[in-house]
């Protein structure tokens, strides 16, 4: 049996595009003599569809698309993923399903049994878990077909009380196929490989795994589809962050070979390199799938906006990036020069719009109310909000989309201005800690100087008052970021973090800042997710909770 794996980029709710793409690859695989082509979980509608799944018409359009796909399968079979109606009166209205299509007909339906309901996953909100497990016979082979999480319960601390493969193995399959929608996090690829390797060796069966690639708003899918032999040896690993199709010959559970040169990477990319690729894909797909072309951002001369500008230029082309320099009376000459140097290095468009007159007008207007009160955070935030007004005016006039440039460290402790530097259409580095931003800047400069060296080496500053430094308000980032990581990613308590050797006062202050800033994060743009625990849909905290505040 010749099997094709199709690792493709889908668009949520774009049935016309998704269906045409699937059919195109069916025809391509058929010409290559494939017997079966495998697509990813919920490929027909895209993942995650979220509350679109509550519309009956949406589910009907999925079924209509599946019929169109089936009509193209005569000399080749295919596996596709889609939501289907649960015909049982008990339980949720839908199943997360896989169709096995052969000779123009749906010959088998497999429903997902293990429904993730943690972090970004919310599948039990929509789907009923399957309790029926049957293999599929095709071309002399017996296939154990599962969907994503169904193979993830082999971990040391199981989340579920069943393992679908423990039941499917009783039917004596000779191959496993798993279709998935597994989002990117910089530490997730190794975990994924280990989980699937364990399944192959545990059940002594070859395993084919197909993942999505592409971004859906804040979620990024990295591809990296995998093939293992029955001993758990990795046979092939499809490219990360790009569409790919690969072919394999399966004669028996012991006879499996790729029909192209395997793309297994002997040297794994480091975290920063992966984050770079993920953010490029995230920006590009956000614009392409939303129908946008041109990005703008406020370019301060600091490292955050420099990194975002460089990423946007790489993702969209420098001609589609408008960098706006918005100096105030506190902006230093070197900051303006650094920003101008970046624009020159990138070749993007730019505008220089000083905001001193704008902020002066606000302060003059408010003088009767402010009277002679000393300069404080009110005047600082007027500057930030003035910049936002200018940037949003340009967006409205010229159709730009504003890129938010706040990093994860700032977002965590609330070091940003609501309706000021926290606004934007998409937050590019909101899941990248400040220390990682520095590493990302150096990575962007790996072949030539893109980000001026002075931008990287100078002390970070918001430049909203004379001689301001970030460290006036925050601990050094090499102290702050590890504390934040332990609290946000690892859910450690203050006592646990202090026991690691961090200063008691600093830890409690930092965690209090994180919790007091929750209301700000509720009002931020979607954040491109690159870590195992990002702010946004995967982290749900009360705004007025007392704990740790």
Using CA atoms of 39, 42, 44, 49 in order, give the dihedral in degrees to the nearest 10: -150
**pLDDT tens per residue, range 32-74:** 999 999 999 999 999 999 999 999 999 999 999 999 999 999 9
CATH superfamily of 2-263: Carbon-nitrogen hydrolase (3.60.110.10)
Which of 90-94, 188-192, 331-335 shows the lowest per-residue confidence on average (mean pLDDT)?
331-335
Which residue out of 30, 78, 102, 112 is catalytically annotated? 112
**Does 73 or 335 have the greater pLDDT score?**
73
SS (H, E, C) 231-282: CCCEEEECCECCCEEEEEEEEECCEEEECCCCCCCCCCCCHHHHHHHHHHHH
Contacts of 537 (CB under 8 A, 6+ apart): 120, 218
**Does 464 or 388 have the greater pLDDT score?**
388
Give 264's pLDDT tier (boundaries 50, 70, 90).
confident
Burial of residue 457, with CB atoms counted within 10 A of its CB: 0-12 exposed, 13-18 middle, 19 or more buried: exposed
**pLDDT tens per residue, range 211-232:** 999 999 999 999 999 999 999 9
Average pLDDT estimate for 268-297: 96
Identify the helix (H) or strand (E) that includes residue 324: strand 321-325
Whether 95 and 111 have beta carbons less than 8 Å apart is answered as yes
The C-alpha atoms of residue 151 and residue 513 are separated, in whole angstroms, by: 39
Report the DSSP beta bridge partners of residue 225.
none
Instruction: Indicate if the pLDDT at residue 548 is higher than 80.
Output: no
Identify the helix (H) or strand (E) that includes residue 188: helix 188-203
The C-alpha atoms of residue 229 and residue 197 are separated, in whole angstroms, by: 9
Please provide residue 426's backbone torsions phi and psi, each rounded to the nearest 5 degrees.
-145, 140
Query: Residues of 10-30 as b/e, b for ≥16 C-beta within 10 angstroms?
Result: bbbbebeebbebbbebbeebb
- pLDDT at res. 369: 94
Cα 286 from chain centroid (whole Å): 11
Nearest to 358 by CA among 389, 322, 398: 389
Average pLDDT estimate for 465-478: 81
Nearest to 35 by CA among 179, 235, 248: 248
Nearest to 354 by CA among 391, 332, 328, 322: 328
Q: Does residue 41 have an active-site annotation?
A: yes
Identify the helix (H) or strand (E) that includes residue 7: strand 2-7
Sheet containing 36-38: which strands, arranged edge to edge? 105-111, 94-102, 77-85, 36-38, 2-7, 244-252, 255-258
Domain boundaries, the chain: 2-263, 272-470
3-state secondary structure (DSSP) of residue 427: strand
Check if CATH label 3.40.50.620 holds for domain 272-470. yes
The C-alpha atoms of residue 160 and residue 244 are separated, in whole angstroms, by: 32
Whether 208 and 227 have beta carbons less than 8 Å apart is answered as yes
Q: List, as own/partner pairs, every contact residues 532-539 make where C-beta atoms lie below 8 angstroms and the sequence separation is at least 24, other chains included.
A: 532/119, 532/185, 532/187, 532/188, 532/489, 533/119, 533/488, 533/489, 534/218, 534/408, 534/430, 534/431, 535/408, 535/411, 535/412, 535/430, 535/431, 536/218, 537/120, 537/218, 538/119, 538/120, 539/119, 539/488
User: Tokens in use for 499?
Assistant: 């026991």
Give 462's pLDDT tier (boundaries 50, 70, 90).
low
SS (H, E, C) 474-527: CCCHHHHHHHHHHHHCCCCCHHHHHHCCCCHHHHHHHHHHHHHCHHHHCCCCCE
- pLDDT at res. 265: 63
- pLDDT at res. 156: 67
**pLDDT tens per residue, range 306-330:** 999 999 999 999 999 999 999 988 7
Nearest to 444 by CA among 313, 267, 532: 313
- pLDDT at res. 463: 66
Instruction: Indicate if the pLDDT at residue 266 is higher than 70.
Output: no
- pLDDT at res. 545: 84
Cis peptide bond prior to 494, omega within 30° of 0: no
Average pLDDT estimate for 447-467: 84
Whether 74 and 61 have beta carbons less than 8 Å apart is answered as no
Query: pTM for the full model?
Result: 0.95
- pLDDT at res. 464: 65
**pLDDT tens per residue, range 98-124:** 999 999 999 999 999 999 999 999 999
Which residue out of 73, 148, 348, 492 is catalytically annotated? 148
Which residue out of 21, 30, 41, 62 is catalytically annotated? 41
């Amino acid at each position: 049996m010749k099997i094709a794996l199709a690792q493709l980029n889908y668009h949520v709710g774009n049935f016309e595009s998704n269906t045409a793409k699937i059919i195109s690859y069916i025809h391509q695989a058929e010409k290559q003599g494939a017997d079966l082509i495998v697509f990813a979980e919920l490929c027909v509608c895209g993942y995650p569809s979220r509350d679109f799944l509550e519309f009956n018409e949406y589910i009907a359009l999925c079924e209509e698309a599946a019929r169109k796909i089936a009509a193209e399968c005569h000399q080749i079979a295919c596996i596709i993923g889609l939501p289907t109606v649960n015909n049982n009166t008990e339980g949720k209205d839908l199943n997360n399903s896989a169709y096995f299509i052969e000779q123009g007909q749906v010959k088998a339906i497999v429903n997902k049994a293990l429904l993730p309901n943690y972090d970004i996953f919310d599948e039990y909100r929509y789907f009923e878990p399957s309790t029926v497990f049957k293999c599929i016979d095709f071309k002399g082979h017996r296939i154990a077909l599962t969907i994503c999480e169904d193979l993830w319960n082999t971990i040391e601390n199981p989340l579920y009380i069943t393992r679908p493969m423990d039941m499917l193995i009783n039917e004596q399959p000779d191959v496993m196929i798993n279709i998935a929608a597994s989002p990117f996090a910089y530490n997730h690829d190794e975990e994924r490989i280990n989980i699937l390797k364990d399944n192959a060796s545990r059940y002594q069966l070859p395993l084919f795994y197909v993942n999505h690639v592409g971004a859906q708003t804040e979620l990024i899918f990295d591809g990296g589809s995998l093939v293992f032999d029955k001993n758990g040896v990795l046979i092939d690993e499809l490219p990360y962050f790009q569409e790919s199709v690969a072919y394999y010959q399966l004669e028996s559970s012991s006879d499996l070979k790729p029909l192209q040169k395997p793309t297994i990477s002997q040297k794994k990319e480091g975290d920063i390199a992966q984050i770079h690729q993920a953010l490029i894909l995230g920006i590009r797909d956000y614009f392409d799938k939303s129908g946008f072309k041109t990005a703008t951002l406020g370019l301060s001369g600091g490292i955050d906006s420099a990194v975002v500008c460089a990423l946007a230029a790489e993702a969209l082309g420098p001609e589609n990036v408008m960098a706006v320099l918005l100096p105030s009376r506190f902006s230093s000459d070197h900051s303006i020069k650094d920003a101008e140097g970046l624009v020159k290095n990138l070749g993007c468009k730019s505008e220089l719009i000083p905001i001193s007159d704008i902020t002066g007008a606000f302060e003059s207007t408010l003088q009767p109310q402010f009277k002679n009160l000393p300069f404080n955070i009110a005047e600082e935030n007027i500057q930030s909000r003035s910049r936002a007004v200018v940037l949003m005016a340009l967006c409205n006039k010229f159709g730009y989309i504003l890129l938010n440039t706040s990093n994860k460290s700032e977002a965590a402790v609330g070091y940003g201005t609501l309706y000021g530097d926290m606004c934007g259409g998409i937050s590019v580095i909101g899941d990248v800690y400040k220390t990682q931003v520095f590493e990302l800047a150096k990575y962007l400069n790996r072949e030539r100087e893109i980000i001026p060296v002075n931008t990287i080496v100078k002390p970070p500053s918001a430049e909203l008052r004379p001689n301001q430094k970030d460290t006036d308000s925050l601990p050094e980032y090499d102290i702050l970021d590890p504390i934040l990581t332990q609290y946000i990613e690892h859910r450690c308590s203050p006592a646990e973090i202090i026991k690691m050797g961090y200063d008691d006062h600093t830890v409690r202050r930092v965690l209090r800042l994180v919790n007091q800033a929750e209301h700000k994060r509720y009002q931020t743009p979607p954040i491109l997710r690159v870590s195992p625990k990002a702010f946004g849909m995967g982290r749900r905290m009360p705004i007025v909770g007392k704990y740790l505040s």
